[in-house]
Structure 1
Amino acid sequence: MMTTSVKKKIQKEFKEKMDYDELLNCMRCGFCLPSCPTYIETGQQEKYSPRGRIALMKGITDGVIEPDDDIAHSLDLCLGCRACEPVCPSGVKYGRLLEDARSIIQTNKKQSVPVKLLRKGIFEELFPHQNRMEKATNLLGFYQRSGLSKAVRKIGFMELFPSSMATMEKVLPEVPKRKEIKQRPRFFEHEGEKKATAALFAGCLMDTMFFSTNNATIKLLQKAGCDVVIPENQLCCGALHGHSGELEKAKQMAKQNIEAFEKEEADYIITNAGGCGAFLIEYDHILKDEPEWADRAKHFVSRLKDISAILVDLDFQNKYRLHLPEQTVTYQDSCHLRNVMQTFEEPRTLLKSIEGVHYEEMEGANTCCGSAGIYNIVEPDMAMQILDHKMEKVEKTHAKTIVTANPGCLLEMKLGIERANKSGQVRAVHIADLLLEALD
């Protein structure tokens, strides 16, 4: 429960820090409602819609209502998918309002000791340190390779956890040995005619758990005519922090990443994770009030592209013959890639260029799958409800391959396949891995 003093402090900071002009931009027209997963899944409850949440934020800012745990829960239940933004006639930057509101509440909210320790471990001790991420995932790799994972499942240990977490453990990718990660070069030369130099944003989980997808991305860029460099001293993009109310820590991480990429004279900064890309492309926004960093952040953002966008720009799909065995393929948008980076035609263009592929557009492919960073962990009931409805849409396409462009979406769709008892019949794959498969 929030105490009176905490409520007053939150209210004061809402008045000082919330973008009031942006709050006023919302016309309450309701165009956002059909695009909001939580509004739909909760039976059209207004407080779980973008319009409703903005009204709550404005009410606190105006002093009309007091912040409380119910309002905090309304904000926390939001997936942050930002599907409301493209359909908003006023162009309200809802995602930015949400992050600012969450940050204010999180900073002032009293937490239990276990929650404090957990947040400190995740947000301060793990994700900002890539070497620790490597060590942690190396332990996961040992768990997988040693046979311990099979033993744990056999004795029923995973049954002690929520069913979604137990299933997630089954669909985690095979993690490479840390030695393999450390031995990878930081520069890769282009093939054929040189078109550009690309600096890869390797990411935290992408460069550990999804190491093979990063390698596939590098190979595709080489084939497209790019020299590829992986800047040293880069780290997690900060999205997890920004979405969870740890905005100041996210700013620190943004500055380190900007410095790391400034050292490379690259034409493009390439990301292959929609969630990372959407946060990276807003570095200029989160650092806009810091004179020393504002212009540097703008330059960083101006070079950012998703892997699918750069491949289409360099005409990769026409330069090479892409071929796969006959199969029906569908595509699940990464919410942030589509709604924030505005990249949605390019992945489809690439998939449709593969011989042997029958592309079937999924109904509601532009709506969230329920992953949303760590949402499926902290809000498992709503996440699974959204996922189960998503798999019903997949079923209608008769697709044997579901393609995604974000690691969280990939794991969520694999989880959905398991929940729908389609393992061995349907697969989920990152677009970079599929394209390399089609190229080879």
Structure 2
Amino acid sequence: MQRTEHQALTDRMRLTLDEEQLTNCMRCGFCQTACPTFLETGLEAASPRGRIALMKAVVDGIMEPDESFQAQMDLCLGCRACEPACPSDVKYGQLIEQTREAIAQEKKYSMPVKLARKTFLEGLFPHQGRMKFMGKALKFYQKSGLQKLARSTGAMKMFPEHLQQLEKALPEVSGDGLMDLWRKAGFPVRAEKSSSGAKLLIIPAVGETIARVGMFRGCIMDVMFAETNVNTVRLLRQAGFEVAVPDAQVCCGALHAHSGEMEDAKNLASKNISAFQEAGVDYIASNAGGCGALLKEYDHLMKEDQNPSIRNAAVTFAGQVKDISELLQGIGRPLLHKEQDPKTAAVKVTYQDSCHLRNVMRVQGQPRELMQGIPGVQLCELQGSEVCCGSAGIYNMTQPEMSTDLLDHKMENVEQTGAETIVTSNPGCLLQMKWGIERAGTGEHVRAVHLVDLLSESVILDDKMGL
């Protein structure tokens, strides 16, 4: 008799899941108060402890991994807020990704879902040229009048309400990537070859060089937030870093890993490890919490690679990864700010933590310290800033109901701060905050910005140095 899909998934999970991590959970429940989906639903199955129990029940043969089991795995945001709260140091993030990998390999997806996964995960994100084409297409949509036409004719009403609102929250796209914008601005850059002959762009530091930093430009960041990438480089060089931009770098693989496509994630990781290793960098800078978290865990991702040199290189790579705030606050020279007009009232800002920046990279204080160092800025702490905003990669599209519930509660807390500016350190969070402002109807007096862009408004930048 042919095996059922549930039996195949059970066997796959037995092969894939880390048995030690499954048994490490003491069922103490500390994770529950940190878990957004448990706080929203109150259901044991919607908590990390509950999901681990479900995983173990499947592996032990007590239950089948049916549709309700898979729905609970899908409902998880993957924010990993449970990990810092866990006294047993259970690697829940690894368990949920291993489970999703098993599901992805055995699940019979519908044709539209198969097409979407193949188009985006295989056909788009791993290819820099195609991502740039998408950026130019989006720019054409915004600038040509098509966007205005789609809204005025009601064409957008063909899409679900949450996608209509997300479309309104999209930033204005330049159509150019980091290096295109850098060259157009006339900023200093020189071309070199890496040890393998690959193209390497070097941007000199302002003043004495402290270290060479590899700039991870990302895929979504370099399409929708390319100006933030430019500002990242400007701040880094002002702080004394020479910036290297390897042309051979690719997507970090985070969306692939979160979707269970682990082999694709590993292939992308291998390319990035080689690109930055050949660039001879001291640090690797990330300005996206979601990307930085996976880059920081390349050592775990590649630990079973058959090539020892790749495994060793992955460990070195992971140790070099730093969030931009870590480099600016703890390693680089202090940034000089423009003087505040004494007649100008302080601007109230609040900060929404990127889950992966806080929970995986364990960066909390540095962004806040940088904001507090800006003249004329009053930081108003956001209640529940450690709770996921509901973005979580593509979660706001796959789980719109839970995502909007989390977002609406987040915006209620933002209102309590009285802040005029919401600051975050991840592109997904930034889009989610812009969507929240759209939903709350507060766009006239509240804005959302990346930490890097807020800093660049205040810091004295000498961009022509090095020409």
TM class by shorter chain equals over 0.9
Alignment of 1:74-93 (within 5 A): 74-93=72-91
| Pair 1:436-2:451 in alignment | no
CA–CA distance in structure 1, aligned partners of residues 121 and 337 of structure 2: 44
Match of 2:355 among 331, 335, 349: 335
| Pair 1:170-2:168 in alignment | yes
Corresponding residue SS for 2:243: strand
Measured after TM superposition, the shift of residue 314 of structure 1 is 2.9
Alignment of 1:276-291 (within 5 A): 276-291=291-306
Larger displacement relative to structure 2 (111-120 or 252-261):
111-120
Give yes or no for contact 2:178–2:217 (8 Å, CA) kept in 1: no
Which residue of structure 2 lines up, in the alignment, with residue 29 of structure 1? Answer: 28
| Pair 1:222-2:268 in alignment | no
Match of 1:299 among 291, 313, 316: 316
Give yes or no for contact 1:239–1:250 (8 Å, CA) kept in 2: yes
Measured after TM superposition, the shift of residue 238 of structure 1 is 0.3
Which residue of structure 2 lines up, in the alignment, with residue 130 of structure 1? Answer: 128
1:98-146 per-residue CA deviation (whole Å, 9 max, x = no partner) reads 0000000111011112211111111111111111011011100111111
Give yes or no for contact 2:349–2:378 (8 Å, CA) kept in 1: yes
Which residue of structure 2 lines up, in the alignment, with residue 409 of structure 1? Answer: 429
Number of equivalences: 436
CA–CA distance in structure 2, aligned partners of residues 322 and 305 of structure 1: 26
Give yes or no for contact 1:38–1:48 (8 Å, CA) kept in 2: yes
Corresponding residue SS for 2:123: helix
One-letter identity of the residue aligned with 2:13: F
Which residue of structure 2 lines up, in the alignment, with residue 268 of structure 1? Answer: 283
Give yes or no for contact 1:238–1:249 (8 Å, CA) kept in 2: yes
| Pair 1:390-2:410 in alignment | yes
Give yes or no for contact 1:322–1:435 (8 Å, CA) kept in 2: no
Give yes or no for contact 2:329–2:370 (8 Å, CA) kept in 1: yes
The 3 A distance-change label for structure 1 pair 150 and 100 is same
Which residue of structure 1 lines up, in the alignment, with residue 63 of structure 2? Answer: 65
Corresponding residue SS for 1:208: helix
Measured after TM superposition, the shift of residue 262 of structure 1 is 1.1
Point out 4+ residue stretches in structure 1 off by more than 6 angstroms: none
Measured after TM superposition, the shift of residue 291 of structure 1 is 3.9
Which ranges in structure 1 are unaligned for 5 or more consecutive residues? none
1:282-306 per-residue CA deviation (whole Å, 9 max, x = no partner) reads 1111110114121110010011000
1:265-324 per-residue CA deviation (whole Å, 9 max, x = no partner) reads 1110000000000111111111101141211100100110000000011355x4412556
Larger displacement relative to structure 2 (402-411 or 141-150):
141-150
The 3 A distance-change label for structure 1 pair 153 and 295 is same
Give yes or no for contact 2:177–2:222 (8 Å, CA) kept in 1: no
CA–CA distance in structure 1, aligned partners of residues 365 and 6 of structure 2: 45
Which residue of structure 2 lines up, in the alignment, with residue 104 of structure 1? Answer: 102
Which residue of structure 1 lines up, in the alignment, with residue 447 of structure 2? Answer: 427
Measured after TM superposition, the shift of residue 178 of structure 1 is 3.8
CA–CA distance in structure 1, aligned partners of residues 370 and 136 of structure 2: 33
One-letter identity of the residue aligned with 1:33: Q
Corresponding residue SS for 1:290: coil
| Pair 1:311-2:337 in alignment | no
Measured after TM superposition, the shift of residue 76 of structure 1 is 0.4
Larger displacement relative to structure 2 (269-278 or 158-167):
158-167
The 3 A distance-change label for structure 1 pair 315 and 281 is closer
Which ranges in structure 2 are unaligned for 5 or more consecutive residues? 184-188, 190-200, 461-467
| Pair 1:20-2:19 in alignment | yes
CA–CA distance in structure 2, aligned partners of residues 156 and 118 of structure 1: 25
Corresponding residue SS for 1:14: helix
CA–CA distance in structure 2, aligned partners of residues 84 and 215 of structure 1: 34
CA–CA distance in structure 2, aligned partners of residues 113 and 172 of structure 1: 28
CA–CA distance in structure 2, aligned partners of residues 323 and 435 of structure 1: 13
CA–CA distance in structure 1, aligned partners of residues 326 and 370 of structure 2: 10
Which residue of structure 1 lines up, in the alignment, with residue 148 of structure 2? Answer: 150
One-letter identity of the residue aligned with 1:400: E
Give yes or no for contact 2:213–2:284 (8 Å, CA) kept in 1: yes
CA–CA distance in structure 2, aligned partners of residues 19 and 178 of structure 1: 42
One-letter identity of the residue aligned with 1:188: I
CA–CA distance in structure 1, aligned partners of residues 93 and 208 of structure 2: 41
TM-score, normalised relative to structure 2? 0.91
CA–CA distance in structure 2, aligned partners of residues 111 and 407 of structure 1: 28
Alignment of 1:243-254 (within 5 A): 243-254=258-269
Corresponding residue SS for 1:355: coil
Corresponding residue SS for 1:126: coil
One-letter identity of the residue aligned with 2:30: F
One-letter identity of the residue aligned with 1:192: G
Give yes or no for contact 2:178–2:230 (8 Å, CA) kept in 1: no
Give yes or no for contact 2:138–2:175 (8 Å, CA) kept in 1: no
CA–CA distance in structure 2, aligned partners of residues 66 and 163 of structure 1: 35
1:240-279 per-residue CA deviation (whole Å, 9 max, x = no partner) reads 0000111111111110111111111111000000000011
Which residue of structure 2 lines up, in the alignment, with residue 199 of structure 1? Answer: 214
Give yes or no for contact 1:85–1:339 (8 Å, CA) kept in 2: yes
Measured after TM superposition, the shift of residue 158 of structure 1 is 1.3
Match of 1:321 among 319, 337, 343: 337
Give yes or no for contact 2:293–2:357 (8 Å, CA) kept in 1: yes
Give yes or no for contact 1:363–1:393 (8 Å, CA) kept in 2: yes
Report the aligned-residue RMSD.
1.5
One-letter identity of the residue aligned with 1:189: P
